[in-house]
Amino acid sequence: MKVLRWSLPLAIFLVILGFLFVGLFRDPREVPSPLIGKPAPAFSLSQLHQPDRTLTTADMRGQVWLLNVWASWCVSCRVEHPLLVDLARANIVPVIGLAYKDKRDDGLGWLKANGDPYKLSIVDQDGRVGIDFGVYGVPETFVIDKAGIIRYKQIGPLTADALKQTILPLVRELQKS
Amino acid sequence: MKVALLSLFAALVASSAWSDDALDARLKALENELRCLVCQNQTLADSNAPLAEDLRKEVRDLATGGKSDDEIRAYLVARYGDFVLYKPPVKSTTYVLWFGPFLLLATGVAAWWGLVHRRTRAAADSGAPGETAAAVRARELLDD
């Protein structure tokens, strides 16, 4: 009983300390997506460069691909853009660009100025498809497998570390299967 | 005839205004328990973020399309996760959240009760009930 008197408060203190310490390294803005492991929402969107042509989720069946949600008005998209350009040059995985709540001309101008890393670009003018994908902070990047299942979601700008350590290994693994 | 038409018209206007008010109140209540994902400590009703605006519109469209509050909540949870709900559902991963405080309260009450119980027993052991240590000592001195 005597031991409990000082060991119990100490134990409670250490547990709280542990929780707070772990909390220091977690980003509250990163909300885990419930869509991981679920089929990518079906969409049919007009292409950025050829407005009269569309791209649907079904068109991408059979290959591993990345969906990069960006916008010309999005500041942190400029941060990740050079990485996407490099990725396109390496030709490892097709990246589809989704211009989220963007005007067509703005999007086209932005790609002309900063380089176009996308195999194809589509426009989600009213943000409806963004809602279906649970997008809440641009940029976001989804890894989608051959069967059309979302396997990973990067919230916020891509980083060299995230690409090298998480996304590209996952892409390679998915491409093998 | 004129009067009849006029009153019918008035009734129609009144009923549509009433149903709009009811819908607004319902949406307001619903939006007040949904979280805006952009400014995380604001509700969907309070937030001015563009996404919150879109989601309010979406919620309104769903509601006018005949979806129930639960269906609308499920729609948002399917896209953004339980995080959009200010009142999280009771399930195995949230047991600690829901019942932890009550468990802590029970532990505290038990500890307090144990302490009080021990003190009164200690007092009882050292003499007749209600007698203080000083009184016990005085009686012992007198007995000598």
Query: Does the structure show a pLDDT above 70 at B12?
Result: no
- Count up the domains in chain A and report the number: 1
CA distance A142 to A150: 7
Q: Is A9 inside any structural domain? A: no
* Residues in A touching B51 (Cβ below 8 Å): 127, 136
Q: Is A11 inside any structural domain? A: no
Write out residues 104-123 of B within 8 Å (CB-CB) of A: none
Residue A133 phi/psi, 5-degree rounding, is -85, 0
CA distance A167 to A155: 12
From B55, which residue of chain A is nearest by alpha-carbon distance? A131
B47 beta partners? none
**Interface contact A136-B38, CB threshold 8 A:** yes
Is B80 near chain A, with CB under 8 Å?
A: yes
- Rounded to the nearest angstrom, the minimum Cα separation between A171 and chain B is 23
Q: What percent of chain A has pLDDT over 90?
A: 84
Which of A140, A131, A136, A134 is CA-nearest to residue A80?
A: A140
Is B75 near chain A, with CB under 8 Å?
A: no
Q: What does pLDDT average to over chain A?
A: 92
**Interface contact A35-B54, CB threshold 8 A:** no
**pLDDT digit string (tens) for B41-91?**
889 998 888 899 999 999 999 999 999 999 999 999 999 988 899 888 888
* CATH number where A151 lies: 3.40.30.10
Amino acid at B95: Y
**Interface contact B79-A32, CB threshold 8 A:** no
Is B54 near chain A, with CB under 8 Å?
A: yes
To test the contact with chain B by mutation, choose from A16, A100, A136, A142 the residue with the greatest count of B C-beta atoms within 10 A, namely A136
Which pair of tokens denotes residue B84? 């959009």
Q: Is A13 inside any structural domain? A: no
**pLDDT digit string (tens) for A65-123?**
999 999 999 999 999 999 999 999 999 999 999 999 999 999 999 999 999 999 999 99
- Rounded to the nearest angstrom, the minimum Cα separation between A74 and chain B is 13
Whole-number pLDDT of residue A6: 86
Which pair of tokens denotes residue A131? 């809602």
Which pair of tokens denotes residue B17? 């205004």
CA distance A174 to A63: 9
Whole-number pLDDT of residue B1: 60
